[in-house]
Amino acid sequence: MTLLYDIEARGLVKTFRDVRAVDGLDVLVERGDTVALLGPNGAGKTTTLMMLLGIISPDAGSVALLGHRLPEGRTQALERTNFTASYVSLPYDLRVKQYLWVYADLYGAPRGRAMETLELFRIAHLADRKNTELSSGQRTLVGLAKALLNRPQLLVLDEPTASLDPEVGQDTRRVLMEEQARDGFTIFMTSHNMSEIERLCRRVIFLAHGRAVADGTPAEIAARYGREDLEGTFLSIAEEARR
């Protein structure tokens, strides 16, 4: 049986001046899977995500998203992909619904999806607010609503719940899991919230110094490092990386 990879990146290398941020990394993510890329600060997670989205060119290696090789097939791949991150800001001069209409047009989605996705995250009441009138948590939820506008086949999330309180964070994870169960999309994410990863992800890839040092289910990796949970595993890997 041939495996369908929504992300197929092989031999990725990226160096910034004299720092090798990503060093020969392979990322293979099967269709419908939920995979986390973890690692200490500076491990190369965000650089990897940016290379997967075609926003940073790799020095070596290849990337194919949803079967489209980058950079040639970038537009076709990104029409069925979406992305949000905790550090992404929103245009300060737009109202929430205007922002979502613009991105619905960019992704070829119906504009009616704007209200649907706001309702998913229970923030439809924010539709007429300007982005400057939102709290950081509300901006994060608007970013997530944007990320579901085009019913993506691949959802790339960088620290998606970093600015959310535990209750809203839990609700957000529930929405993502329900939507994934219904639409069958693939999630590739980073997070420093290990309990979130344990709840959401079937598989994790640990990075250190731009290389994959562990790859498997959270339980498998924790067992390999003799730890009970991902939090402890993370600490062991981070400590190893410092040595």
Partner 1 sequence: MNARRVAAVVRRHSYGFLNSPTRIVVFSFWPLLDLMLWGLITTFLRRAGTELPVAVSFFLGAILLWDLVFRTKNSVALCLLEENYSRNVITVMASPITPGEYLGGAVAFGLVKTFVTFAVMSVLAWALFAFGVLQVGAMLAVYAAILIVFGIALSLVVIACVLRLGFAADELTWVLAAVLMPFAAVFYPVAALPGWAQTVAWLMPPAHVFELMRADLAGVPAEWGSLWTAIALDAAYLAAAFALARAMFTSFLRRGLITRYM
- Scanning 50-58, 162-170, 213-221, 232-240 for contacts with partner 1 by CB under 8 A, the matching segment is 50-58
Residue 201: which of 180, 182, 183, 224 has the closest Cα? Answer: 180
Name the residue nearer to partner 1 (CB basis): 79 or 198.
79
Q: What's the rounded Cα separation, in Å, for the pair 7 and 3? A: 11
Tokens of 171: 């609700």
Name the residue nearer to partner 1 (CB basis): 90 or 237.
90
From residue 134 to residue 163, the character string flagging contacts with partner 1 as x (rule: CB under 8 A) and all else as - is: ---------x--x---------x-------
Q: What's the rounded Cα separation, in Å, for the pair 79 and 76? A: 5
* CA 137 vs CA 128, 131, 133, 172, 182: distances in Å: 17, 12, 12, 11, 25
CB of 40 to partner 1, least distance (A): 16
From residue 66 to residue 105, the character string flagging contacts with partner 1 as x (rule: CB under 8 A) and all else as - is: --------xxx-xx--xxxx-xxxxxxxxx--x--xxx-x
**Helix or strand or coil: residue 55?**
coil
Q: What is the dihedral of CA 129, 135, 138, 139, to 10 degrees?
A: 80
Place of tokens 């092989």: 10
Instruction: Choose, by CB under 8 A, the member of 8, 14, 114, 188 that binds partner 1.
Output: 14
Q: What's the rounded Cα separation, in Å, for the pair 171 and 144? A: 12
Name the residue nearer to partner 1 (CB basis): 93 or 229.
93
CB of 187 to partner 1, least distance (A): 15
CB of 105 to partner 1, least distance (A): 4
Residues in the site for partner 1, rule: CB under 8 A?
14, 16, 21, 46-47, 50, 53-57, 74-76, 78-79, 82-85, 87-95, 98, 101-103, 105-108, 130, 143, 146, 156
